[in-house]
Amino acid sequence: MSGAGARGRVETLRPRRREGELVVVGLSHHSAPVELRERVAVAPEHVGAAALRLRAALQAHELVLVSTCNRLEVVAMTEAGDPLEAFAAELTRHHELPRAGLEGHLYLHHGRGALRHLFRVASSLDSMILGEPQILGQIKEQYRQAAAVSAASGGLKRCFERAFRVAKRVRTETGVGQLGVSMAAAAVDLASRIFDDLGDKTVMLIGAGEMAELAARHFRTAGARGLIFVNRSFDRAVELARGFGGTPVPLERIEPYLPMADVVVSSVGGAGWILGPSHFNEALRQRRRRPMFLIDLGVPRNFDPALNDIEGIYLYDVDDLDRVAEEHRERRASEARRAESIIEEEVKRYWSHLRDDEVRPTIVALRDKAEEIRRVELERALRSLPAASDAERAVLEAMSAAIVNKLLHGPLVALKELAREEAAAVEEAAEMVRRMFALEESPPASAARDEDEGAES
């Protein structure tokens, strides 16, 4: 199966032996239309269970599922021979998709490329709206859920914690965060183009999550005359209405209020179609065919696409906002370049750290073995020199230590450089050193690694 992203050269990442290779496999707004994304979307309350299911499918030691309106991805430490194929097979089975429907829509990143992708996604550099603020919070929550069901720890824990710090640095040191806008803000931008003046328009917001609250804030700033908040939980609708001076409406009572709305924005996650032609025909009649502007921010979509066939209805979904997003990206190009430079710097730094981890157990074992031999032979020599003074013993101690250090210096430097050059043979080279010097298997240097992490943060 071909993916939207090129596989390229495989850069193996094994921060601990037998943990597997770091990969990202998935689909996003770059590679798949909303019709496909909504079919594979995972509701927030099911993310943990889905992570466990996908971990088994990909034969992964660890896995975090990232599911948003614009992407479905897994970040995993896996030994699967073809993780893209395994991911595609699981989507086909679980979501009852035709296999051909996934062709060309999936991508796969390995090793360093996977690390770079994770950093970019967390920093909102891969979002439809560059700099949008929701993605980092979503990833943190989905990582938390994976960790809660023991699907993520160890290597992925360190990768995600670093990704969160990189995202914070990008938002602190560049204007991406200040210039970025949410999907909700893009929706208001689009509405402002459809209507010359929002000052005499009423906006209905269906859903009461973060997206609806952001949209309400932006529409109020843009001068919208009235706001109607519709939600299954009426208490939450009342809470938002009180905060913005709007009207609360329970979802089951929406139809009498539809004729009042010039703009209807829906952002109900995981609900599927909640409004269709039958809901709007009567509303348009009461409005005397005055047009209605619908913005569907839900994935799966909340509005039946058949609404596009009704005269007077103008329906836009998240993919239609891509044109607005492109304009935002152009205006933010300079800040984005600065952010990308930070990403590359952080990838290089953390990748080197991880590659050092790959050879650290071998280096520690080699040093320990050499020191053990030096100590035994020194004590044997000193037993043959019972009359040696303390000064003479100190000279022999220093000489033996210097010999060992000089002999080990070249091999150890070469091993570290091999790791940092990301040569494919680094693990084979480490194994050869272990065999040549008959080194015992060393325990993972987790304590040293965690200490290094703290020093870098």
**Choice among 1-5, 7-11, 95-99, 130-134 with the minimum mean pLDDT:** 7-11
What tokens does 61 get? 């030691």
Tell me the per-residue pLDDT of 253-268, one tens digit each, with 9 for 90 and over.
999 999 999 999 998 8
CATH of domain 183-327: 3.40.50.720
**Choice among 83-87, 130-134, 217-221, 418-422 with the minimum mean pLDDT:** 418-422
Q: Is the pLDDT of residue 429 over 80?
A: no
Q: Which of 32, 42, 58, 69 is catalytic?
A: 69
134 pLDDT tier (thresholds 50, 70, 90): confident
Q: What is the pLDDT of residue 77?
A: 93
Can you say whether the dihedral through the CA atoms of 201, 206, 209, 211 is positive or negative? negative
Closest residue by Cα to residue 284 from 258, 302, 249: 258
Rounded average pLDDT over 326-347: 82
Q: What is the pLDDT of residue 200?
A: 92
pTM over 0.85: no
Instruction: Give ranges for CATH 3.30.460.30 in the chain.
Output: 21-180
Lateral strand order in the sheet of 202-206: 247-250, 226-231, 202-206, 263-266, 292-296, 313-317
Rounded average pLDDT over 22-30: 95
Backbone φ and ψ for 393, nearest 5 degrees, come out as: -60, -40
**Choice among 66-75, 81-90, 358-367 with the minimum mean pLDDT:** 358-367
Instruction: Give ranges for CATH 3.40.50.720 in the chain.
Output: 183-327
Give the chain's mean pLDDT.
84
Q: What is the pLDDT of residue 449?
A: 38
Rounded CA-CA distance 306/62 in Å is 42
14 pLDDT tier (thresholds 50, 70, 90): very low
Query: Is 69 assigned a catalytic role?
Result: yes
Rounded average pLDDT over 54-66: 95
420 pLDDT tier (thresholds 50, 70, 90): low
More confident of the two residues 456 and 49: 49
CA 434 distance to own-chain centroid = 36
More confident of the two residues 437 and 38: 38
CATH class of the 21-180 domain in this structure:
alpha beta
Q: Is the pLDDT of residue 48 over 90?
A: yes
Do the beta carbons of residue 419 and residue 359 sit within 8 Å? yes
**Choice among 32-46, 130-144, 434-448 with the minimum mean pLDDT:** 434-448
Question: b/e for 268-289, b at 16 or more Cβ within 10 A?
Answer: bbebeebbeeebbeebbeebee
Do the beta carbons of residue 138 and residue 144 sit within 8 Å? no
Rounded CA-CA distance 237/241 in Å is 6
